[in-house]
Amino acid sequence: MLGSKRGWGLCLPVLLGMSGCGHHDAVETPVDWWHGLEGGRIAQDRPPPPGLGQPYPLIGTTPTAPPAL
């Protein structure tokens, strides 16, 4: 009985500590954090990429031969 409690007593802090390592958010990378500290143009939000709202192109509908120039 005592060994079981001791095992949980050691296992629980390790599991709780490791749960903090599972947070991976692309917004909170060290590079973004550093750019936020630097400020200026690099820290500003970028415009969305062109074609963001358009559907993904179908590869099978592209021409097989290059166009004549």
pTM score of the predicted model? 0.26
Q: Supply the pLDDT for residue 47.
A: 86
- CA dist 22 and 8 (Å) reads 21
What's the rounded Cα separation, in Å, for the pair 57 and 59?
6
Q: Give residue limits of the domains in the chain.
A: 11-61
Q: What is the pLDDT of residues 5-38, one digit of tens each?
A: 777 777 888 877 776 666 656 556 777 777 777 7
What is the average pLDDT value for the chain, to the nearest integer? 75
Q: What is the predicted pLDDT for the residue at 21? A: 62
